[in-house]
């Protein structure tokens, strides 16, 4: 069930069945010569939308701009500063909590988001801690590739050249969902270099075409479909378990 | 051309043709008993995506959460506070400007966004004004219903009961694009009351089912299609004119 | 009754009679070759002070610095950034609300303030909406020229060359109140150009002497007096109606 | 010369003569049973306006709302939080500095403002320090009662019962300027108690009628006039010396 | 009793005895050719740690970075901006108050901190004032040199050349506590110049070796020991009196 | 070399030898029935101070309050909110960078700090990325237990009951450094429960005595000494490597 294609009475009814909601969250940033700029928000959106087709799972609109300051040297990247990102995640969660969503599950598509999302969670929890009261809702962050079995499948699909940015697995996922938007390029070198992540100028100097450690040429729509299927199954189970959790503080 | 389905080299190439970009912006909020929660971000997205099919127009990802504090009394609404909204619009524009987008056009789908978006523009301009330098980019806000001829068409389509929230015109647009998500309900009264907008508690007390002055039962997918067609044509022309503008300050 | 010339027991007594207060709000910014820098805060102050002479109307101190970033290219302009403006309006309203003022009416003298003041209202309402409680007070913004009949009078007085900045009507109002501060200059061209408003550098390049579309030479103290009289009468009636409003949320 | 009654070309001309400007700054807060709510911003305004009559001294609009959180328990008090106050002072100074004002002199009328104004100065200086560059302007804060000879005169005028809030000296200054707004009351006790300043609830419990250590019954317009005359003379001299200061960092 | 060398059950027990806590607060900044960069946080720490050896006094960890923007021109200085400092002091106090500390006493070692700490106190009090409730805790700031008798002793020890930064008294205190870190240098001139404090570039130009008005060559560990002894005694008495204070607002 | 026991000329000289600095960073929070409240900032301080005894390593003052919102239910915990923590880390780094420190290495003692410190790094990098310039400095975060070999040693020392909060390894480190502050208690159960971390109320309900998964009774000063020795050696090597890194962006 997609929240944005529902009415408020439908959401009211859904809340009577479950207090959990999934928020696909990612980033809009360069993904090398052939990866789509939307890759990191499209992947969790694709997986979550697929998952809700076969389960009573409520999916919020996609949080499509994240923390991608290091990619700003490449055209098309849009980034929030961490402080802005924290504020925005806060307002999303506060809004959802008002309606009775007590389990808010972020399905993330961008490694660079993780620290700031966790900091945003702490900022939200701290409001309750400083007020000496229970928060009333729980937050969970999961990268889609960390869903049960997904990393293992990607390692089998791409034993070398998976890398950490513009990876063949994420590109495969978007190829499966957007076959008309598959791009081709010659990669030089075939496997991109690796190293640390700092500001945008340093990043572009280290990683001239935007990839980090990856060989995206291995991506195929079929492999993407396998990843989506497995991730969607894992998501449904994880959210069900999360929804069933009991907080000792009420 | 959709930015999120493009690669960074494709955006680099697009920038060589035009310095303008369209950002669909809206809100995710209750739209009465039958309106989709996503109505206000879906409408500008639908129109902008339609427009780019027949023109060399670059469309950014949709800014889908806006200023909807007054709707927070209804399940499913997600809102940013104005201060968060200003910060986030700021980071979007600063990101786009880095790449050379000097004409950033926001196609808006939510009346409640207008004041804060304008304030965000002033915040961005003020950075340059306080630094005694040209800003280097221009910002434009347009509600889709204010595109040439669109309001007039809506008035012809819905001479009574158009209202100002959960209007038949915006619901018609989403019906055209999402025919599988058309909802039905009995409206009582047929035309909703009107009045001022304040905080969420006051809003829900004044407008019990969420509508303001509207009779959404008049919406049809066909009328929506007419509106989209006209709006998309207007958008292409307006953006072209905006891109061609010359700023005397450089 | 002027709040700043009253004692706290007098305000306590006034609150027993009415829960409404008028805050003149404007901007301190260039107004062309002959307009006073204070024009935009002087006009609402003049009108509100005049109005309280003949009615039981409480007038707060004048909020004299607003959002005028675009005028910063001209000496004497003082501006708040929108984010600062929102914070300050917030603290004013929170202070007044503590005392029981439940109807806070801003009489505005600067078009460039409107968006940010509305955003500030939303920021204040959002505090209540996110806390799931009634706000307890209502806010209203009115430009003095939008008081009943005032624009129509100005159009009769100045059928051409009224423009939108450094207008003959606002200059006439200050001439009526400060006859010793009437300035003269040759205007070239007689009617200033019009166009968009962006950052200060762009503004000064477009509007070299600061005027927008106006011919201030038409202003006279007499015309100003007529405007003040009409506006003051309208203000008294509007505030009375606002004070009498009933909020359904308590 | 009053900035708000001047035009921008007049300010441009004034800047050719002097780079200094005086900003009257105060607070709008309860001043006991008979003191005007505006006392703390009226006093520096009265003195600065008097001073500019006989000297080439440029006076900015009055910054009329300051840091008065402890007085919020009394009707009519309007306060900024320190963080808001710092932001607003910052924007005033940044605006003035853009025009070439390199000596900004705040004439203060409220003891409770001092710490926050000094913090605001440091915030402004820190911008330059963190950017490793000269600030380009100097800031000075002076309480009007600390101008040469003024405290000594007040001590002679009011050897007992001067106190620290709603003092006879500040009330005398407003009586001199606003003789029509002189209020009378019986004070019990004649001299109010003294003690620490904390939050508003604590303040009102300690100081039931708002006074701290003072006996305002001793105020007369004549004494006020003497204070204004002496303060105005001191102000002119101090600003001249400040304007003549040379900064070694340029 | 040092909080950081205690366990939470020990602090729970301490709270049953006293609701007061001492926070040593200072700055890490240049102190001339021979003064330690830590001088301003070491001095209050040394005194507070000495004091708790002979009394039931609870001492918090040292707040070691303060407002030292003017010293940023000298290597080793670390400064918070005032706005950051206010936020951090706020979170310290809110944390301590949660546990029941209702008397929080800051023993300060840096004159440049005073305004911002006072502003931080007002920011904290304002939270309660704007919420119309008692704050529940009281805050006190004391510079260690203002403890009873300390300034007088320093004046006897150093009748000339005490100055206001890198003073012989503060350097003597660190010499007593850190005899292995005593540094020597030739001072030219023996007594440093005096003047105003502005941004870092201005400061370094005025005070080339970092001292203000002082001759640190007079410092000895013995004199430092005398100062510590007297200050520690005063501290114990002051905190006891502060703990015993009764707030009329509860 | 300890920065706070050095003079500014000594730091100037140190900068001629190395551009790197170590900042011990931790948290002041409950550590179960026997762990010191300062454990998490004492551990990195102990290790860094030990390391600099035998190497040319510059150590900054300790950043002793971190992100510990979840521990606020236990007396003695002091926490910054993430937003405050980000601001403060930012000002520390900006200060150090001014002096030429281009490699700032944070040695961390609190797992709960990691996300926010990483977010703070991104906030700092983003300043440069949004300004389209190199940052000029690099930041590194290392938990002391992740230094080469340290986790392995702790696993050998404490094969069971190490846990994740109030661990025997961190308590052993403080026992080695502060033998007079060793505390004893009966632990029930011997090994504490494990689970998620949310707000303070939830935390205290899940972990009644504050421990998570640990049996601190196994700690001894000797084991602590072994950990410190190994960690100090690793620190020296890591900082040397970090200092020698070359950034491609200059």
**What tens digit of pLDDT does each residue of D187-211 get?**
999 999 999 999 999 999 999 999 9
Using pLDDT thresholds of 50, 70 and 90, give the confidence band for residue C250.
low
Contact B134, B250 (CB under 8 A): yes
Collect the ranges in chain E with pLDDT lower than 70.
Answer: 250
Helix (H, G, I), strand (E, B) or coil at B105: strand
Q: What is the pLDDT of residues A176-221, one digit of tens each?
A: 999 999 999 999 999 999 999 999 999 999 999 999 999 999 999 9
Q: Looking at the predicted structure, is the pLDDT value of residue B190 above 80?
A: yes
Omega of the bond leading into C189 within 30 degrees of 0 (cis): yes
Count of residues making up chain C: 250
Kindly provide the b/e burial profile for residues C57-70, where b requires at least 16 CB atoms within 10 angstroms of the residue's own CB.
Answer: bbbbbbbbbbbbbb
Measured N-to-C along each axis, helices B221-244 and B150-157 cross at an angle, to the nearest 10 degrees, of 170
- Closest chain A CA to residue F202: A249
CB contact under 8 A, D91 and C79: yes
Helix (H, G, I), strand (E, B) or coil at D68: coil
Tokens representing C100?
């029981």
Mind giving me the DSSP string for A187-203?
-SSSS--------HHHH
Contact A243, A19 (CB under 8 A): yes
> What pLDDT sits at residue A247?
79
- Closest chain F CA to residue B91: F130
Residue of D83, D115, D129 lying closest to E199 (CB–CB) = D129
CA distance A30 to A185: 15
Q: How many CB pairs below 8 A link C and D? A: 168
CB contact under 8 A, B199 and C128: yes
Q: Which residues of chain F are at the A interface, by a Cβ-Cβ cutoff of 8 Å?
A: 67, 69-70, 72-73, 79, 81-83, 86, 112, 114-116, 118-120, 122-123, 125-126, 128-130, 132-135, 138-139, 196, 198-202, 204-206, 247-249
Angle at B227 between CA B226 and CA B229, to 5 degrees: 65
- Closest chain E CA to residue C92: E130
> What pLDDT sits at residue E250?
60
Shortest Cα distance, chain C CAs vs residue B236, angstroms = 20
> What pLDDT sits at residue B249?
73
Percent with pLDDT over 90 in chain F: 98
Q: Looking at the predicted structure, is the pLDDT value of residue A10 above 70?
A: yes
Q: How many CB pairs below 8 A link B and D? A: 5
**Which of 3.60.20.10, 3.40.50.10310, 3.40.718.10, 3.40.50.300 would CATH assign to domain A3-158+229-243?**
3.40.50.10310
Average pLDDT value for chain A: 97
Angle at F190 between CA F186 and CA F191, to 5 degrees: 140
Q: Do chains F and B touch (3 or more CB pairs under 8 A)?
A: yes
Q: Residue A91: its chain C contacts at CB < 8 A?
A: 130
Q: Residue F94: its chain D contacts at CB < 8 A?
A: 130
Helix (H, G, I), strand (E, B) or coil at E22: strand
Angle at E152 between CA E147 and CA E158, to 5 degrees: 120
Using pLDDT thresholds of 50, 70 and 90, give the confidence band for residue D250.
low
CA distance E147 to E152: 10
Tokens representing F14?
């140190």
Tokens representing A190?
């075939």
Helix (H, G, I), strand (E, B) or coil at E141: strand
Q: Residues A38-44: what's their mean pLDDT?
A: 98
- Closest chain A CA to residue E92: A130
Stated as kind and residue range, the H or E segment containing D152 is helix D150-157
Q: Which residues of chain C are at the A interface, by a Cβ-Cβ cutoff of 8 Å?
A: 130, 132
Shortest Cα distance, chain F CAs vs residue B159, angstroms = 48
Residue of D9, D30, D61 lying closest to C33 (CB–CB) = D9
CB contact under 8 A, A198 and F126: no
Residue of B42, B78, B183 lying closest to A95 (CB–CB) = B78
Phi, psi of B59 (to 5 degrees): -115, 125
Q: Which residues of chain E are at the D interface, by a Cβ-Cβ cutoff of 8 Å?
A: 67, 69-70, 72-73, 79, 81-83, 86, 112, 114-116, 118-120, 122-123, 125-126, 128-130, 132-135, 138-139, 196, 198-202, 204-206, 247-249
- Give ipTM to 2 decimals: 0.98
Q: How many CB pairs below 8 A link D and F? A: 5
Contact F199, F69 (CB under 8 A): yes
CA distance F240 to F250: 19
Tokens representing F64?
């002793």
Q: Residues C86-112: what's their mean pLDDT?
A: 98
CB contact under 8 A, F94 and D130: yes
Measured N-to-C along each axis, helices D114-130 and E82-98 cross at an angle, to the nearest 10 degrees, of 120
Helix (H, G, I), strand (E, B) or coil at C213: coil
What long-range pairs does A148-157 form, CB within 8 A, spacing at least 24? A148/A234, A148/A237, A148/A238, A149/A230, A149/A234, A150/A227, A150/A230, A150/A231, A150/A234, A153/A226, A153/A227, A153/A230, A154/A227, A157/A218, A157/A223, A157/A226, A157/A227
Q: Residue D67: its chain E contacts at CB < 8 A?
A: 119, 122
Interface test with F, best of B83, B94, B100 (most F CBs within 10 A): B94
Closest listed residue to residue B60, CA positions, set B19, B5, B109: B5
Tokens representing E48?
């507070």
CB contact under 8 A, A95 and C132: no
Subunits with 3+ C-beta pairs closer than 8 A to B: A, C, D, F
CB contact under 8 A, B95 and F130: yes
CB contact under 8 A, D76 and C11: yes
> What pLDDT sits at residue F250?
60
- Residue keyed to tokens 């103290």: C221
- Closest chain A CA to residue E91: A130
SS3 annotation, E54-87:
CCCCCECCCECCCCCHHHCCCCCCECCCHHHHHH
Q: Do chains C and F touch (3 or more CB pairs under 8 A)?
A: no
Kindly provide the b/e burial profile for residues C31-52, where b requires at least 16 CB atoms within 10 angstroms of the residue's own CB.
Answer: bbbbbbbbbbbbbbbbbbbbbb
Running DSSP on this structure, what letter comes out for residue E6?
S
Q: Do chains B and C touch (3 or more CB pairs under 8 A)?
A: yes
- Rounded to the nearest 5 percent, the helix, strand and coil shares of chain D are 50, 10, 40
Which residues sit opposite B165 in a β-bridge?
A: B212
Which residues sit opposite D20 in a β-bridge?
A: D103
* Beta strand spans in chain E (E): 20-25, 103-108, 138-143
Cβ atoms within 10 Å, residue E42: 26
Running DSSP on this structure, what letter comes out for residue B166?
S
Kindly provide the b/e burial profile for residues D15-51, where b requires at least 16 CB atoms within 10 angstroms of the residue's own CB.
Answer: beebbbbbbbbbbbbbbbbbbbbbbbbbbbbbbbbbb
Omega of the bond leading into F192 within 30 degrees of 0 (cis): no
CB contact under 8 A, F38 and E3: yes
Tokens representing E242?
């502060």
CB contact under 8 A, E81 and D201: no
Using pLDDT thresholds of 50, 70 and 90, give the confidence band for residue A250.
low
* Farthest CA pair distance, chain D: 58
Tokens representing A191?
């496997």
Q: Looking at the predicted structure, is the pLDDT value of residue C104 above 80?
A: yes
CB contact under 8 A, B119 and C114: no
Q: What is the pLDDT of residues B72-95, one digit of tens each?
A: 999 999 999 999 999 999 999 999
Q: Which residues of chain B are at the C interface, by a Cβ-Cβ cutoff of 8 Å?
A: 67, 69-70, 72-73, 79, 81-83, 86, 112, 114-116, 118-120, 122-123, 125-126, 128-130, 132-135, 138-139, 196, 198-202, 204-206, 247-249
Shortest Cα distance, chain D CAs vs residue C36, angstroms = 5
Beta strand F103-108 pairing with F20-25:
parallel
Contact F40, F29 (CB under 8 A): yes
Alpha carbon separation from A118 to A16, E87, F183 (Å, rounded): 28, 21, 33
Q: Residues A118-139: what's their mean pLDDT?
A: 98
> What pLDDT sits at residue E247?
79
Shortest Cα distance, chain C CAs vs residue D203, angstroms = 15
Residues 6+ apart with CB under 8 A from A141: A106, A108, A114, A117, A118, A121
Q: Looking at the predicted structure, is the pLDDT value of residue A249 above 80?
A: no
Measured N-to-C along each axis, helices E82-98 and F82-98 cross at an angle, to the nearest 10 degrees, of 140
């Amino acid at each position: 069930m997609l929240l944005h294609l529902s009415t408020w009475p439908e959401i009211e009814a859904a809340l009577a069945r479950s207090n959990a909601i999934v928020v696909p969250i990612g980033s809009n940033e360069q993904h090398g010569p052939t990866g789509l700029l939307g890759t990191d928000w499209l992947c969790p959106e694709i997986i979550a939308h697929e998952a809700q087709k076969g389960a009573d799972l409520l999916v919020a609109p996609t949080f499509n701009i994240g923390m991608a300051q290091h990619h700003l040297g490449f055209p098309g990247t849009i980034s929030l500063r961490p402080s802005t990102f924290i504020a925005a995640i806060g307002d999303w969660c506060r809004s959802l909590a008002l309606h009775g969503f007590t389990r808010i599950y972020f399905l993330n598509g961008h490694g660079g988001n993780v620290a700031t999302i966790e900091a945003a969670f702490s900022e939200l929890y701290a409001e309750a801690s400083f007020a000496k009261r229970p928060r009333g809702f729980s937050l969970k962050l999961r990268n889609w590739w960390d869903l049960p079995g997904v990393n293992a499948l990607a390692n089998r699909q791409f034993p070398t050249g998976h890398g950490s940015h513009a990876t063949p697995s994420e590109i495969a996922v978007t190829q499966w969902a957007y076959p008309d938007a598959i791009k081709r390029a010659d990669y030089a070198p075939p496997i991109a270099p690796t190293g640390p992540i700092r500001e945008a100028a340093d990043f572009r100097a280290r990683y001239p075409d935007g990839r980090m450690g990856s060989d995206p040429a291995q991506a195929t729509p079929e492999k993407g479909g396998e990843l989506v299927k497995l991730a969607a199954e894992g998501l449904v189970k994880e959210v069900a378990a999360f929804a069933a959790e009991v907080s000792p503080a009420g």
